[in-house]
A = this chain, B = another copy of it.
Amino acid sequence: MHRVAYFNGKIIPESEVKISMWDAGFQLGYTIVEAERTFNHKIAKLDEHIDRLWKSAKYAQIDPGMSKSEIKKETLRVLNKNLKLISPHMDYWVYQFITGGVFNFFQSSELESRPQTVIISCFPITFNHYARFYKTGAHAVTPSICISPPISQDPKLKCRSRVNYHMADLQARQSDPDAYCLMLDIQGNIAENRGANFFIVTDGKLRTPTTRNVLAGISRKNVIEMAKKLKIPVAEEDLQLYDAYTADEAFFTSTSFCILPISKIDHVTISNQIPGPITQKLLNAWSKKVNLNIVGQAFKNANLKE
């Protein structure tokens, strides 16, 4: 009873998926990726994620070798086969990886060249990594390593070539082992966490960096849309540390945790009320939308008491 994955046209046991060292995904970090999650075992916003994957492919000039509807179909097949391995209360991350394949350059008796490598796989959501932060708030720490400017590498490209995000994370966790990095751009504007977007609330207004220097997160977009429906004013604008430290509320958004309240930034307490009132409203709206108590599920799976 093990997970399966899609690998270049076939569904096989995940443990048999085999990436060559000559694959451009390994050689160059030349891999585009999407990650969805399920709520009640259904994938949320799959079409939006696949649209973004196709944008990444176009920008990075990788040919996916299949249509959007095909990758969607295969994604659902892989998920379906893996769903039986988890309990009804657990949910999955679902990933699509497309690499630049094996260049002709590396064609040899050991390996054939191929214009792309496609993997679709599932992984149980690791609720225990973050569940407690819904109540205590996460700690965001700014590292000295910045995101790349768009003239070097556009943060809107959702790819696997992001060693500086990882090193920034190491720096943040040196300051607090539980910290999440909050990277700046090279002008000192706040950008993003390695895998999450950042929002603050100031005087009742929701504020988040522009996509000039962050990934155009689908959860980010979802929060902006929900806020508009809730008549909460929203601004996409350049924010700096001053704005962050003096905010009334702050939170991260990502596919897995949806909205994660932040209580401290660089060891400065932002708020003692976690989640703050607007954060709570947005979390409630989201739970309602997916018909699942987002925080409750995380607590249950992490064996925490609410």
Interface residues of A (CB under 8 A from B): 2-3, 5, 13-15, 17-31, 55, 58-61, 95, 97, 100, 105-106, 108-111, 119, 121, 123-124, 126, 129, 141-154, 156-157, 159-167, 170-171, 174-176, 184, 186-189, 210, 212, 237-238, 240-243, 245-246, 266-268
Q: How far is the CB of A205 from chain B (nearest CB, A)?
A: 13
Whole-angstrom CA separation of A26 from B162 in the bound complex? 11
Closest to A18 in B: B18
Question: Which of B23, B105, B110, B188 is the one whose CB lies under 8 Å from A149?
Answer: B188
Q: Which residues of B contact A245 (CB under 8 A)?
A: 58-59
Which B residues are CB-close (under 8 A) to A19? 18-21, 23, 26
Q: How far is the CB of A191 from chain B (nearest CB, A)?
A: 10
A187 contacts which chain B residues (CB < 8 A)?
149-151, 187
User: Which residues on B sit within 8 Å (CB–CB) of A148?
Assistant: 148-149, 152-153, 164
Given the interface pairs A26-B19, A110-B3, the reply to whether A100 lies near B166 with Cβ below 8 Å is: yes
- The complex places the Cα of A18 from the Cα of B176 at a distance, in Å, of 35
Q: Is the CB of A163 within 8 A of B119?
A: no
Inter-chain contacts of A142 with B (CB < 8 A): 144, 171
Taking a contact as CB atoms under 8 Å apart, the answer to whether A160 and B110 are in contact is no
Is the CB–CB distance between A27 and B240 below 8 Å? no
Verify A241–B59 contact, CB threshold 8 A: yes
Tell me the minimal C-beta distance from A10 to chain B in angstroms: 15
